[in-house]
Amino acid sequence: MSLSRGRRHELHPKVEINIIPLVDVMLVLLIIVMLTASFEKTAGLNVKLPTSAVTQSQGAVAHDIVIGIDRRGGYFWNGRPVPDASLNALLANERAQYGTEGRVIVQADARASHGRVVGVMTLAQQAGFGKLVVATRQTPRRTHGQ
């Protein structure tokens, strides 16, 4: 009789699934999706966009330029207020850096002066941008019971 407590030799190999490489691959895929996903660019300020029944979502383009106009008529570039005189220089810089294939999106508050919106669009056209978009929000649909 042997008193040794040695391991028994099993005839079948021990089978286990290692999920660590799977988790690594999934994390890499998640990072890739997050980096390549298209996000909606905003002016970085709280504006009440005018409503429209025919609001359409535009497809993504190579480069969007978002210019905000608050209710008092102040201009915003990337969420920061900019003086009227610098807007032309900022548009010229964007044209030099990215070309004129980008889209200029004007996010004006519904209470902003129409003249301020037209002024931004005129400056964008003078800078060479041909794709101009005025941002609106969808009018809520009414049900028949109302």
pLDDT digits (tens, 9 = 90+) for 3-55: 555 566 667 777 788 888 889 999 999 988 887 776 555 555 566 666 655 55
Helix (H, G, I), strand (E, B) or coil at 34: helix
pLDDT at 25: 92
**Which pLDDT tens digit goes with each residue over 76-104?**
988 889 998 889 899 999 888 888 888 88
pLDDT exceeds 60 at position 1: no
CATH of the structural domain 51-138, one choice from 3.30.1330.20, 3.40.50.150, 1.20.1260.10, 3.30.420.270: 3.30.420.270
Mean pLDDT of the chain: 78
How many residues appear in the chain? 146
Q: Where are the domains of the chain?
A: 51-138
First to last CA, the chain: 92
